[in-house]
A and B are shown apart, each in its own frame.
Chain A
Amino acid sequence: MQKLVLWVSPWLIATVLVAQQGSPDPTPAKPATAAERMTALEAAQQKIVADWRQASKEAAAKAAEAKADGKPVPAMAMRPDFAPLLEQANAAATAFAGTDDAVKFLLFIVQNGSGKREAITAALDTLTEKHVDNAALSELGQMIPFLSRMVAADKAETFLARLAKSSNPDVRGWVLMAQHKAAIETGERESDAYKTAKMELLKAAELASDAGLKAEITGAIDLREKFGAGNVAPDIEGEDLDGVAFKLSDYKGKVIFLDFWGDW
């Protein structure tokens, strides 16, 4: 909220000053720069998250009350809704159309689309048609395997084909990851499909500069080759929550139920 006020106030001051000076030749206010627009967008987003947190807290309290009274529990919004920001992001993308700045706003729409298929489709269309060589597109990475759930199947196919032709190795690597995901996860280890997928992905990891992509590739292959059923697990050497050193192999000879947990 504070950020938003900070951003708005120079505008208010500037407007008031211009009005007081009564400039005879009222030139239109200088349009906001891309950075200013992004800051405003992020501030508005933070406000939505803060409001959603507050609403969730209140809803949880009400739900507990309703439950105690034996009444039906009201529904809660599972995640903040950024749909109200999409128009603002799209206006900025249009204002800077064709430039690297537009890419940031289009990515914002794809990443925060809150299920608005039309807006996401339009943004992806522009990104993959006009900006496919832009390195920032590797930010789409984790989403690329799920494009067909975000937009219509034929659109997903078109976008994927365009991304595959990007001159940026990270973008192409993410496309390969999407294409080979199933083969690596479930393909027969001895099959050609598995071997080809592994070879192409390792090559893509070598060419990549995106650390997230490298980790995704080696993680997927490790998951299959080191942690699939039948493999002997690596040992763990660490400390327990009281700081006492111990090893997983201290429990060798027993059946071990290893649980990666967290309290969140």
Chain B
Amino acid sequence: MKTTPRSFLRFALVLLAIVILWEGGRAVFNVSPLVMPGVLSVLSSLGTALASGEILHQLAFSFSLIGMGIGIGAGLAVLALIIGAQSRVAAEVMGTVASLFHPLPGIALLPVVILWFGVGKMAIVVIIVHSVFWPLLTNLQAGYRSVSPTYHLVGRNLEMSPTSFAVRIAAPATVPYILAGLRIAWARSWRALISAEMIFGAVAAHGGIGWFLHTRRVFMDTAGLFAGILVVMLVGSLVERVVFGFVERSTIDRWGMNG
């Protein structure tokens, strides 16, 4: 979606409406600030957390986990795709396994992951890898199957090796599927990450943004809690709209491959 003056105005108006409803509700029902803090105190808490670097620090940690998880998950998915391309039996087995694991929320695996990998960074990365691997593999396989038979003929006509064909033709032809897979992978891993961090974030001083939320609740810092929620919302939508938006505009939109 493009950012136009109109969409920006709409966004600002919606934001304003939420603030008015929030403050109005607080005033009318005389709610304690421990339950619903004022907008200004949420903003000042956000300012403090930003200024002290705490939120950014926790975010950076969270992103390093997601980066690692997406890197490993994507690498494994490409590997699985290559194996599946060699043997139909392998592809069918993987398809069945994927249909079982794809719908399983990462957080549901947490108890088992803790049992196997202990509490800490490793466990979270494993959960993220799970959140990334299956949707990416499913999309990569669908993309691979969708590569036009004409491309295969063109590739053979040009005497391309299987590797050269995969890199120069199959990969760009699959970009719409890769991006769709990455979008799902991002959404799932962001949710899984925050859930997992809230359950056990305390790896030394690093707990990630989920742990930040959790500690605000423990300390009854409600304004800080809402500040954290704001950050989670902003980061999530920033990645979806700005990062993915940019990548899509410079690839599939430009190529007319966005359906």
Are both chains from one complex? no
A interface residues, Cβ below 8 angstroms from B: none
- B residues bordering A, Cβ < 8 Å? none
